[in-house]
C-alpha cells in the first residue's frame, strides 16, 4: 500500500499560541471550542496567524455488493442517479457548498453504471461495485492499493492547482453504512450490534436483518488479522479512496473536515496506519446514525455540531465550516488587551 509521510503536528509553538489567545480581549477561555479549534489549526499550519484557503469538498461515489442482501432501503441505482444529480447542482451538498464557498469535486470510484462523459465527474472507476463481502472479500489488495493511490492523487491535484488547505470528504453509495459499521466494530472492538443503525431509513425488522447479515459476514471472515486485509475484505471503493485522500491531505498539512458516520469510519481506519492523522482532523458533525457517537467517543474526539443529519455527501462537514472560520477570525481579528490598552478583567 502507498506510504505517506504524515508527521505529528509540531507543538513547540503551542504555549505561544495559547498566550496569544489568552490575551485577546475576552475572559480567559470564554470562547470555548473556538479557542480549541484556533489552537489546532494554528498548530497544523505552525503559525500564529492561520488562514483558510480555497475549501473543497470531494465526494466519492461507488456501489456495494452487500446491498444484494437487502441491508438498505435505497436501491443500487440511486448511487448513479444521485451522482448525476450532484453534477447538475440541485442536491443537498450543492446548496451547502455554494453557501459556504466550497468547490465540489465529484469522483466515480466504482459506480455500477456507465456515466456519460461531459458531466464534470472525474472517472476513477475501479470496478462496477465491490463484491458481496458476505461470501468473500469486497475488493482485492490490488484494488485497495489503486483506490489509495487514486484518492491521494485527487487531493494532491487540488492542493497544487488551487492552494486549498482545508478539505472535506463526502460519499454516495447505497448500502455503505454496512461496511462502515463493520469497520467500526473491527477497529474499536465495540459490539457489532451497537455499530449498526437504520442507514437510509430501515425499520426495526430491517435493522435486525442487517445485523444478522453483517454478523454472518464477520463470522465468515478468514483473512489476515491486519488492518489492510480487513479494510479490503469489508470496504467500499469510495471509502478506500477517501482514506487515501485523507492520508494525502494530512501529509500535505491540510485541515481535514470529517463528515458523519461513514467518513468517521474512514479516518478511524486510516488512523490504524497513521495515528497522527487525527492531529489534522476536525470532526464536523455527529450524525443521527446509531453508533456514530460511540465511534467518536472511542476515538476520544467530539464533533462541532449535532444536527441529526444522516445525509452524507459531506453535508455535516460543510455545515461546520463557518465555526472553523470563526475560530480563525478570532485569533486573527480580535485585539489583544495590550494593543487597545484595556485592563485584563479576569
Q: Helices in 62-176 by DSSP H: which ranges?
A: 77-88, 92-100, 141-162
pTM comes to: 0.96
- Once rounded to an integer, what is the mean pLDDT over residues 7-29? 96
Convert the pLDDT of each residue in 192-211 to its tens digit. Answer: 999 998 877 788 998 999 99
pLDDT attached to residue 262: 96
Residue 345 has pLDDT above 70, yes or no: no
Cell 468473500: give the residue.
136
Residue 92 has pLDDT above 90, yes or no: yes
- Average pLDDT over the chain, rounded to an integer: 95
In whole angstroms, how large is the CA radius of gyration of the chain? 20
pLDDT attached to residue 216: 97
Convert the pLDDT of each residue in 36-59 to its tens digit. Answer: 999 999 999 999 999 999 999 999
Task: Kindly indicate the confidence band of residue 310, based on its pLDDT and cuts at 50, 70 and 90.
Answer: confident
Residues recognised as catalytic: 313
Question: What share of the chain has pLDDT > 70, as a percent?
Answer: 99
Query: CB within 8 A of 79, min separation 6: which ones?
Result: 61, 62, 63, 111, 112, 113, 172, 173, 174
pLDDT attached to residue 288: 81
Convert the pLDDT of each residue in 154-189 to its tens digit. Answer: 999 999 999 999 999 999 999 999 999 999 999 999
- Once rounded to an integer, what is the mean pLDDT over residues 6-31? 96
Query: CB within 8 A of 270, min separation 6: which ones?
Result: 243, 246, 247, 277
Convert the pLDDT of each residue in 255-299 to its tens digit. Answer: 999 999 999 999 999 999 999 999 999 999 998 887 999 999 999
Residue 324 has pLDDT above 70, yes or no: yes
pLDDT attached to residue 117: 86
Residue 126 has pLDDT above 80, yes or no: yes
- Once rounded to an integer, what is the mean pLDDT over residues 214-240? 97
Give 23's DSSP letter: T
**Number of Cβ atoms within 10 Å of the Cβ of 27:** 11
Residue 344 has pLDDT above 80, yes or no: no
Helix axes 237-251, 141-162, angle to 10 degrees: 50
Convert the pLDDT of each residue in 208-226 to its tens digit. Answer: 999 999 999 999 999 999 9
Find, among 67, 94, 72, the residue nearest to 83 by Cα.
94
Residue 247 has pLDDT above 80, yes or no: yes
Residue 150 has pLDDT above 90, yes or no: yes
* Distance of alpha carbon 172 from alpha carbon 120, whole angstroms: 16
> In Å, how far are 76, 94, 215, 282 from 40, measured between CA atoms?
39, 28, 38, 9
Amino acid at each position: 500500500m502507498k506510504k505517506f509521510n504524515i508527521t505529528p503536528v509540531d507543538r513547540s509553538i503551542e504555549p505561544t499560541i495559547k498566550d496569544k489567545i489568552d490575551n485577546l480581549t475576552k475572559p480567559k477561555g470564554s470562547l470555548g471550542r473556538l479557542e480549541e479549534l484556533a489552537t489546532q489549526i494554528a498548530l497544523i499550519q505552525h503559525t500564529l496567524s492561520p488562514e483558510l484557503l480555497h475549501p473543497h469538498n470531494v465526494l466519492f461515489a461507488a456501489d456495494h455488493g452487500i446491498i444484494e442482501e437487502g441491508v438498505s432501503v435505497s436501491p443500487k441505482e440511486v448511487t448513479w442517479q444521485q451522482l448525476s444529480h450532484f453534477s447538475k447542482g440541485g442536491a443537498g451538498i450543492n446548496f451547502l457548498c455554494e453557501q459556504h464557498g466550497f468547490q465540489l469535486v465529484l469522483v466515480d470510484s466504482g459506480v455500477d453504471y456507465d456515466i456519460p462523459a461531459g458531466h464534470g465527474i472525474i472517472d476513477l472507476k475501479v470496478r462496477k461495485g465491490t463484491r458481496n463481502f458476505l461470501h468473500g472479500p469486497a475488493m482485492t489488495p490490488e484494488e485497495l492499493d489503486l483506490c489509495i493511490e487514486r484518492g491521494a492523487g485527487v487531493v494532491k491535484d487540488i492542493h497544487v492547482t488551487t492552494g486549498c488547505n482545508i478539505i472535506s470528504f463526502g460519499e454516495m453509495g447505497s448500502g455503505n453504512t454496512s461496511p462502515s459499521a463493520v469497520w467500526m466494530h473491527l477497529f474499536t472492538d465495540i459490539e457489532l450490534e451497537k455499530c449498526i443503525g437504520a442507514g437510509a431509513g430501515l425499520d426495526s425488522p430491517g435493522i435486525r436483518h442487517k445485523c444478522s447479515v453483517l454478523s454472518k459476514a464477520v463470522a465468515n471472515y478468514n483473512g489476515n488479522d491486519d488492518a489492510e486485509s480487513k479494510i479490503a475484505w469489508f470496504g467500499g471503493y469510495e471509502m478506500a479512496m477517501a482514506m487515501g485522500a485523507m492520508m494525502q491531505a494530512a501529509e500535505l498539512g491540510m485541515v481535514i473536515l470529517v463528515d458523519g458516520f461513514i467518513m468517521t469510519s474512514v479516518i478511524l481506519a486510516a488512523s490504524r496506519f497513521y495515528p497522527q492523522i487525527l492531529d489534522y482532523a476536525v470532526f464536523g458533525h455527529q450524525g443521527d446514525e446509531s453508533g456514530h457517537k460511540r465511534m467518536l467517543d472511542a476515538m476520544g474526539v467530539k464533533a462541532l455540531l449535532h444536527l441529526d443529519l444522516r445525509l452524507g455527501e459531506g453535508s455535516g462537514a460543510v455545515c461546520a465550516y463557518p465555526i472553523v472560520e470563526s475560530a480563525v477570525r478570532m485569533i486573527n481579528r480580535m485585539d489583544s488587551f495590550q494593543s487597545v490598552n484595556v485592563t485584563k478583567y479576569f
